[in-house]
């Protein structure tokens, strides 16, 4: 199956080619490469054909209204995403497994479409009884329990935009997100299980609500039994008391195509996290179409995306995309090494997963643990593998292909963002010849380009910025409450063109090779953290005068957070302080943002206009020869930093 080409000047791994395995290609949903040209000729018609497959209370009048950078899809249409994820399947699929959930301690539950429909209706009625009306925001801060998927769908059913906050986020991060969205209700749990421990959430939720006055009611899922004495009278209600008592009948609210479906906060380069706004119809069509074609979804697939619903991947490809397709979607609560390092593969074996979608950071961890763990389990049910969140290095791709896919499963490397809502660059596994490390080419109907500073497309093999030149249905509509920032952040660099802030190159076959972020976002274990947030957290500590943070490459996590800190004059540097500052960042933002290294420095390198030169700090942290220092106010600062860093390594 592996074809080697004769070209030797590029890296060897870039020369490997994997055409679709014959057996796979024969059965694939999409076998005709003509779909690309067809979609290009009429991209509106292309997306509209997917929309036709879904349920509408009222059909749209117009597919697209594009007034750059503001977009509307399926204008005039009325639909409901939860209806499409549930009710639409209550005919032939009513007793099919919709959600297969496994808890970390080993408990598990299967919800058929009928079951899930009932639970979502009850939860929707419960939200209504708490005063939630169409348009009210609901913040959801839950571990990966079934109630998380149910809560999201219940919000969608009644037209209350949800804002899911990852359960690993800190008190302050939660509070900021609640306040920005002005949420009326918070759904949380007493705790969840992670690596055998209880991850307590209720205490965090309570603390964050001091200073979040918009929240009137808190709905609490009982998972760990660790907050029975923490219920606040008049405000807190147990999920099992309220939801279980509701009627299982709740009509889905007919939503306007452009009504908000959800907000999801993500890190930007400056300022507070951005509330990315996704609306109803376009997002539904975009996730439906891409789940169907990229994952080649079939009626009998058991599809598992290992992400957390707290991130966009979980929204689009655990909940909405798969369920809109009537698929069986698997959800796992805990960590991949509990009770042992074969847990993921035990799950694949137990439920007969046919598709597994995970992140390169996880794959590199599995590589480090060794092949013996996947070997313990029967992985023969798998037929397709996926990757998302950061560039996958060819070595990890090959390991995944070989050790998890047994050399028989195409690996779809899918590039997209919280903002794009849906996969935009990825193979169609029945058609595309794969190259390890490349996300291959744009999904049909998507127009992507790699350009230089001036917006001119660069030649084959040259690096540039990835941009998108045509609207797509799942794209963000704005930043919640801040349309100016939306325009400035994504649309100001090039006219009528979406700026991704990712570096990219195209090869001579037109394949896209993603090169990582070009802005001040650090991609840790496939999650975005802004340098600015880490810096604010550090400066918040009483010992710190100034801080700069950057990402440096890390074998497993992709990038690790490194911080350079200037202490206040009276404060002596010490190892204890390093530990304290790391913990401070983890407490302020969440464990995911904890710096791997902190270096003290008398001064940070700055330009004459006093901008911190993160590029130079990156050079220092990567151990590279120093880049251009001509604009630096005091070049000696970097030299001394570099000397200190080299000593430490």
Distance CA 16, CA 55 (A): 43
Choices 58-66, 172-180, 515-523, 538-546 (CB under 6 A): range interacting with ligand WTA:
515-523
Do the Cβ atoms of 592 and 529 come closer than 8 Å? yes
Q: Does 551 bind ligand WTA (CB under 6 A)?
A: no
Closest CA to 271 of 523, 498, 542, 489: 489
Among the listed residues 297, 312, 324, 561, the single contact to ligand WTA using CB under 6 A: 312
Distance CA 497, CA 449 (A): 10
- Give the residue with the Cβ less far from ligand WTA, 80 or 414: 414
E strand or H helix at 192: strand 191-194
- Residue spans of alpha helices (H) in 545-632: 575-588, 614-622
Among the listed residues 208, 287, 313, 422, the single contact to ligand WTA using CB under 6 A: 313
- Give the residue with the Cβ less far from ligand WTA, 212 or 312: 312
Contacts of ligand WTA in 230-269 (CB under 6 A): 266
Taking the complex as a whole, the smallest distance from the CB of residue 125 to ligand WTA amounts, in Å, to 33
Among the listed residues 167, 191, 389, 429, the single contact to ligand WTA using CB under 6 A: 389
Do the Cβ atoms of 304 and 357 come closer than 8 Å? yes
Choices 77-85, 167-175, 222-230, 387-395 (CB under 6 A): range interacting with ligand WTA:
387-395
Taking the complex as a whole, the smallest distance from the CB of residue 264 to ligand WTA amounts, in Å, to 9
Among the listed residues 253, 342, 502, 619, the single contact to ligand WTA using CB under 6 A: 502
CA 103 to chain centroid, in Å, comes to 21
Q: Largest Cα–Cα distance in the chain?
A: 73
Taking the complex as a whole, the smallest distance from the CB of residue 266 to ligand WTA amounts, in Å, to 5
E strand or H helix at 368: helix 360-369
Do the Cβ atoms of 189 and 143 come closer than 8 Å? yes
Q: Does 528 bind ligand WTA (CB under 6 A)?
A: yes
Cα(first)–Cα(last) distance of the chain, in Å?
Answer: 42
Phi-psi category of 14—alpha, beta or left, where left has phi over 0 and alpha has psi -120 to 50?
Answer: alpha
- Give the residue with the Cβ less far from ligand WTA, 265 or 600: 265
Query: In the structure encoding, which two tokens stand for residue 137, read together?
Result: 């925001």
Residues in binding contact with ligand WTA, number by CB under 6 A: 23
Query: In the structure encoding, which two tokens stand for residue 585, read together?
Result: 């960042």
Distance CA 520, CA 468 (A): 20
Choices 141-149, 183-191, 368-376, 389-397 (CB under 6 A): range interacting with ligand WTA:
389-397
Among the listed residues 168, 282, 326, 391, the single contact to ligand WTA using CB under 6 A: 391
Among the listed residues 102, 390, 449, 533, the single contact to ligand WTA using CB under 6 A: 390
Choices 278-286, 388-396, 453-461, 475-483 (CB under 6 A): range interacting with ligand WTA:
388-396
- Give the residue with the Cβ less far from ligand WTA, 112 or 313: 313
- Give the residue with the Cβ less far from ligand WTA, 222 or 517: 517
Taking the complex as a whole, the smallest distance from the CB of residue 438 to ligand WTA amounts, in Å, to 9
- Residue spans of alpha helices (H) in 211-269: 239-242
Distance CA 56, CA 51 (A): 9
Distance CA 149, CA 151 (A): 6
Each residue 406-445 as x (binds ligand WTA by CB under 6 A) or -, in order, gives -------xxxxxx--------------------x------
Taking the complex as a whole, the smallest distance from the CB of residue 530 to ligand WTA amounts, in Å, to 12
Residues in the chain: 649
Closest CA to 189 of 151, 227, 139: 227
- Binding residues (CB under 6 A) for ligand WTA: these are 266, 311-313, 388-391, 413-418, 439, 500, 502, 514, 516-517, 523, 527-528
């Amino acid at each position: 199956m592996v074809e080697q080409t004769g070209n030797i000047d590029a890296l060897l791994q870039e020369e490997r080619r994997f055409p679709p395995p014959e057996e796979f290609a024969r059965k694939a949903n999409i076998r005709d490469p003509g779909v690309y040209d067809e979609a290009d000729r009429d991209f509106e018609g292309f997306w509209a054909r997917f929309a036709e497959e879904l349920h509408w209370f009222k059909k749209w009048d117009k597919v697209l209204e594009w007034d750059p950078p503001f977009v509307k899809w399926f204008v005039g249409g009325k639909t409901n995403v939860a209806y499409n994820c549930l009710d639409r399947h209550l005919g032939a699929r009513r007793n099919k497994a919709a959600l297969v959930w496994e808890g970390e301690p080993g408990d598990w539950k299967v919800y058929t479409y009928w079951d899930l429909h009932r639970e979502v209706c009850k939860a929707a009625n419960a939200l209504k009884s708490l005063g939630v009306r169409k348009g009210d925001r609901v913040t959801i801060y839950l571990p990966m329990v079934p109630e998380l998927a149910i809560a999201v769908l219940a919000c969608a059913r009644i037209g209350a935009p949800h804002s899911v906050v990852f359960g690993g986020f800190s008190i302050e991060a939660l509070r900021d997100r609640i306040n920005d969205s002005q949420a009326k209700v918070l759904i949380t749990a007493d705790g969840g299980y992670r690596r055998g421990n209880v991850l307590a959430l209720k205490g965090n939720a309570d603390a964050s609500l001091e200073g979040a006055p918009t929240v009137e009611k808190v709905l609490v899922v009982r998972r760990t039994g660790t907050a029975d004495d923490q219920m606040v009278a008049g405000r807190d209600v147990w999920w099992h008391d309220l939801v279980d008592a509701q009627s299982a009948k709740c009509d889905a609210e007919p939503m306007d195509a452009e009504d908000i479906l959800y907000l999801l906060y993500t890190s930007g380069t400056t300022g507070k996290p951005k509330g990315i706004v996704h609306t109803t119809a376009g997002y539904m069509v975009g996730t439906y179409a891409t789940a169907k074609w990229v994952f080649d979804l079939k009626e009998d697939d058991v599809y598992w995306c290992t992400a957390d619903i707290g991130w966009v991947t979980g929204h689009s490809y655990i909940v909405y995309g798969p369920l809109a397709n009537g698929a069986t979607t698997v959800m796992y609560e805990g960590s991949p090494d509990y009770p042992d390092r074969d847990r993921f593969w035990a799950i694949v074996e137990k439920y007969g997963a046919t598709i597994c979608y995970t992140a390169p950071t996880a794959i590199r961890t599995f590589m480090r643990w060794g092949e013996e763990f996947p070997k313990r389990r029967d992985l023969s049910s798998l037929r397709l593998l996926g990757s998302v969140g950061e560039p996958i290095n060819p070595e990890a791709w090959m390991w995944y292909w070989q050790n998890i896919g047994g050399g028989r499963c195409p690996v779809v490397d899918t590039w997209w963002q919280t903002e794009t809502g849906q996969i935009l660059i990825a193979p169609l596994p029945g058609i595309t010849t794969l190259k390890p490390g490349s996300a291959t080419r744009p999904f049909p109907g998507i127009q992507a380009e790699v350009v230089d500073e001036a917006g001119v497309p660069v030649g084959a093999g040259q690096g540039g910025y990835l941009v998108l030149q045509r609207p797509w249905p799942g794209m963000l509509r704005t930043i919640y409450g801040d349309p100016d920032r939306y325009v400035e952040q994504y649309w100001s660099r090039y006219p009528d063109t979406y700026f991704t802030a990712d570096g990219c190159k195209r090869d001579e076959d037109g394949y896209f090779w993603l090169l990582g972020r070009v802005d001040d976002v650090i991609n840790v274990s496939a999650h975005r953290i802004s340098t600015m947030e880490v810096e604010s957290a550090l400066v918040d500590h009483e010992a710190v005068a100034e801080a700069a943070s950057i990402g440096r490459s890390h074998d497993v996590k992709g990038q690790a957070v490194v911080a350079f800190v200037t202490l206040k004059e009276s404060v002596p540097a010490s190892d204890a302080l390093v530990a304290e500052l790391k913990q401070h960042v983890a407490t302020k933002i969440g464990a995911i943002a904890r710096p791997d290294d902190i270096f003290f420095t008398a001064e940070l390198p700055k330009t004459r206009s006093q901008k911190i030169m993160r590029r130079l700090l990156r050079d220092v942290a990567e151990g590279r020869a120093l880049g251009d220092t001509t604009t630096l106010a005091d070049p000696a600062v970097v030299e001394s930093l570099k000397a200190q860093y080299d000593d430490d390594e």
